[in-house]
Structure 1
Amino acid sequence: MGKQRLSHVVASKDAADQSRLDHLTGARCLASVWIVCGHFVPRLEPTVFSAARHRGNTAVNFFIVMSGFITHWVYATRVLQGGQIRRFYVRRIGRVVITTWIAMLLGVAVLLVQLRGQCPDLGHLLRCFLFVETWHDPVDWCPNGQTWTVAALLPSWLLYPLTCRAVAAAERCGGATALAALAALLWLVSFGPLWVLFVRQGSWITNKQGVWGYVWPPSQLADFALGVTTAALARRHAAAASSASEEDSDEQEPGMRRVWARGLLADGCILIVGLTCLCAPWYGGREGWEPLFNHGFGLLFAAFLYGSAAGGGSGLVARLFRHDVLVCLGAYSFEVYLFQYPVHEIFVAVGDVSGAFDMRNAKREYNNNSCGFVVFFFSLWLAAGLYAEFVESHLIRWLQVEAASGGDCTSQVSKGYTSHKDRAAMAGGAVYEQLAEEADIERSESAIPLSPADPSSPPSRS
């Protein structure tokens, strides 16, 4: 009896370790580096990396799919109804919305300086703060334009309880086969319209059409649902593997082979994406076939998430991504994304006022100061970390108290779960105890996408 109990405890611990997906936090770190460099790295002579640098919309595609994946990875076992839905909305959306408003206020301040005190259109600003401007006109850039991503993801988060039920119904009807078919169908819904447009217009998509297929919130619903479906499939196979290994030790070797095969699948998907972004010709701008990168790799990203989720991070790519340095820095990637534009423009303003340096070329179009970029890059991460540790941590704690005020675990909420160590651990999407799970959702998979417009252009209409 004692031996059985010990083996059960060990198996439970292994299952908990395997539910931690720290490599996704590391992936967020590298993707955020890609995004910031795509916006602000000095544009000198073209290099072999020039095409990939401008294809940050591929990173957006990854983050949208991953948002759905991690949300369902944590919440799949819960029945979200009544008060649970309210708690989900407060904890999942509250912190993101408030932080986005703060970032947008910084963007407004920067814009006022750039416009020399001239006030932007108040109606436009109001629609931006209500996250409805991208529904009306995705091309009309809000202050701190990167906040478009939160507006694009809000409908998916609000509809998640319904999406969860629909995916569960598909799984009950057809099991893993139905989930795989649903994933393929969702990718076709996401990518199909752009592909049809590309073919009908003689292998060409305009920049405006690409923005509508990218920033307009309904265009991202299918990618988020694809992530949810992928998480359901990954959880199903993880549960089956865990059950088989507990019942029969002879199943451990075949189980290891399956983990290895899924890791190989994940590595292959990332290799295909990387080579395509590096090698596909780029002719400048976000037109032609470039808008196809908005959703084209969705199914490959879903396959990567499914494959790398085996064993808590299977494959060489996942092993690289879960390095401690990447995981720690990735915990601040959401803040890095939101504050990149205001922090950069502060550097531009300081250089202009002091005359000590210049962050842009003679035409004021883009950054051409390599040393200035390095200082800006590290300052950005420092500012993001300071905000997360000393401002956002209190915000998260307050939201936890508000969400739990009508339920249980209030005493546990008051303890926080917001230290740097907890934040880095939670950002992997691990299935912990109830409060830790929801704190994970609050910090882990907030998107950090790239803006569809050139960063040198004004973030808002003047």
Structure 2
Amino acid sequence: MVVTRRPTGTAQPHRFVALDSLRGLAAVGVVLFHLPGLGPVGNSALARSGYLFVDFFFVLSGFVIAASYGDRLAQGFSRSRFAALRLGRVYPLHIVMVGAYLVAAVAIMRPAFADGRDLTDLFRAILLLDGYALTRTNYYNGQSWSISVELLLYAGAAILMGRGRLGIAIAGVLAVAAMASLLSGWQVPVWSTNVQRGICGFTLGAGTFVLFRKGFGARLPAGLAEGATVAIAIGFLIWAEQIGTLRWLVVFPFAALVLVFARDAGPLSRMLATRPMMALGRWSYSIYLTHPFLLGLTGHLALMAGFATGRGGADPILARLILPEGGQTAVLLGYLALVVGVSALTYALIEEPGRKWSKRWAARWGAPGAERVAPTI
């Protein structure tokens, strides 16, 4: 659940229920991106642009970090403690997945340190450095490139939030420079496209919280605002293939989506507040990190069993299963069910214990009140 203090500064935490459920749907969108060739859903324009949902994660992250920690950092909350707490929230599942990839490589997808799986990549994964590279080809939990960028963004938030106009100015300059680099296609190591996407989304998300706290757009009819922002965001994603580097401007429709749904006021928000949608949001981080592993594992098992064609082609092995007509959609739905089921387990067995450990750690460091309302990103 995305949790933060109310913008009024009262003690009661505010739960952004709709935003949390939207995060779950965005995680499913990323999953669909990795299933090209699997029926009409996998081949849809929306699924082909599913990688852009990672930018929604960045926008949402900036929003809730600003909401949860912006004022407290300004009031002297320990910045080193904040950074350590954020690491404690994202690292446990990541390192478990790195271990799962290593075990799978040794047991099934051999050899472990060849064919793009060398020892350097393993250490790069363990240390969460993939986001700063110019390519994302790491076998060992390569999906965590965005987590490495998140950690950089948390460090930036710890430094700049609460610094007044100077912090705002520095963040603004970095965001403009990042967007200019994205639109031009320019990148160098460390200042990679990955980092640029993170800076743009996170900074815009933090600015969106400022607008939210000021009541921007609060008088608009909730149903109309929700429908319009959803339509604009989906339309942009469908159109993204046609517009080249302008696709990175998707952070603006995503920011509008966050601003509107943060109010939990309209009919779509009520739909997102249902138990299945809330569960999807709760398991979203696990969905995001586990699905590439499950895709590779099930695909290789199918190949070994003779149910799939050879390794050629860019599509995942599951898209090359020997199936009757219409069977690809059934495989896609079955794979989604597998991912959600496994993610429910990893949430209960890894994420939730990690959060509790993080709270105990915070209590020992003298920050229990802050962590009780810390967001889960």
Superposed pair shares fold, TM > 0.5: yes
Structure 1 residues 35-434: aligned runs within 5 Å: 35-40=30-35, 42-44=37-39, 50-79=44-73, 84-112=78-106, 113-119=108-114, 120-166=117-163, 168-169=164-165, 188-195=176-183, 197=184, 214-215=193-194, 217-237=195-215, 258-261=218-221, 264-279=224-239, 289-293=243-247, 295-309=248-262, 312-355=263-306, 357-358=307-308, 363=312, 365-366=315-316, 367-368=318-319, 369=321, 370=328, 371-407=330-366, 409=368, 434=370
> Does residue 437 of structure 1 match 2:373?
yes
Matched position secondary structure for 1:76: helix
| TM-score, normalised by the number of residues in structure 1 | 0.67
Tell me how far 1:307 sits from its aligned partner. 2.8
- Identical-pair percentage: 21
CA contact 2:143–2:289 (8 Å) conserved in 1: yes
Tell me how far 1:349 sits from its aligned partner. 3.0
Instruction: Return the index of the structure with the highest Cα Rg.
Output: 1
Tell me how far 1:151 sits from its aligned partner. 1.1
Tell me how far 1:265 sits from its aligned partner. 4.2
Q: Which amino acid in the other structure matches residue 388 of structure 1?
A: Y
Q: Deviations over 1:293-335 (max 9, x none)?
A: 2x212122222222332xx313444343333321112100101
CA contact 1:259–1:314 (8 Å) conserved in 2: no
> Does residue 32 of structure 1 match 2:37?
no
CA contact 2:283–2:347 (8 Å) conserved in 1: yes
Aligned residues: 355
Structure 2 spans left out of the alignment, 5+ residues:
1-7, 322-327
CA contact 1:186–1:223 (8 Å) conserved in 2: no
Q: 1:343 to 1:258 in 2, by over 3 A?
A: closer
Tell me how far 1:90 sits from its aligned partner. 2.7
Q: Which amino acid in the other structure matches residue 279 of structure 2?
A: C
Tell me how far 1:281 sits from its aligned partner. 5.7
CA contact 2:174–2:199 (8 Å) conserved in 1: no
CA contact 1:260–1:314 (8 Å) conserved in 2: no
Q: 1:315 to 1:260 in 2, by over 3 A?
A: farther
Tell me how far 1:130 sits from its aligned partner. 1.4
Q: 1:136 to 1:28 in 2, by over 3 A?
A: closer
Q: 1:117 to 1:101 in 2, by over 3 A?
A: closer
Q: 1:296 to 1:351 in 2, by over 3 A?
A: same
Q: 1:362 to 1:346 in 2, by over 3 A?
A: closer
Tell me how far 1:263 sits from its aligned partner. 6.1
In the alignment, the residues of structure 2 paired with residue 183 and residue 263 of structure 1 have an alpha-carbon distance, to the nearest angstrom, of 33
Q: Which amino acid in the other structure matches residue 129 of structure 1?
A: I
Q: Which amino acid in the other structure matches residue 276 of structure 2?
A: V
In the alignment, the residues of structure 2 paired with residue 148 and residue 296 of structure 1 have an alpha-carbon distance, to the nearest angstrom, of 20
Q: Which amino acid in the other structure matches residue 202 of structure 2?
A: F
In the alignment, the residues of structure 2 paired with residue 276 and residue 62 of structure 1 have an alpha-carbon distance, to the nearest angstrom, of 13
Q: 1:16 to 1:118 in 2, by over 3 A?
A: closer
Matched position secondary structure for 1:92: helix
In the alignment, the residues of structure 1 paired with residue 340 and residue 30 of structure 2 have an alpha-carbon distance, to the nearest angstrom, of 13
Q: 1:302 to 1:219 in 2, by over 3 A?
A: closer
| TM-score, normalised by the number of residues in structure 2 | 0.80
Structure 1 stretch 128-137 or stretch 322-331: which is displaced more?
A: 128-137
Q: Which amino acid in the other structure matches residue 121 of structure 1?
A: D
Q: 1:125 to 1:117 in 2, by over 3 A?
A: closer
Structure 1 spans left out of the alignment, 5+ residues:
1-11, 172-178, 198-204, 239-256, 283-288, 410-432, 446-462
In the alignment, the residues of structure 1 paired with residue 126 and residue 311 of structure 2 have an alpha-carbon distance, to the nearest angstrom, of 34
CA contact 1:66–1:305 (8 Å) conserved in 2: yes
Higher relative contact order (CA 8 A, sep 6+): 1
Q: Deviations over 1:264-288 (max 9, x none)?
A: 4454233122123235665xxxxxx
Tell me how far 1:290 sits from its aligned partner. 3.8
CA contact 1:234–1:306 (8 Å) conserved in 2: yes
Query: Who is 2:3 aligned against?
Result: none
Matched position secondary structure for 2:215: helix
CA contact 1:49–1:278 (8 Å) conserved in 2: no
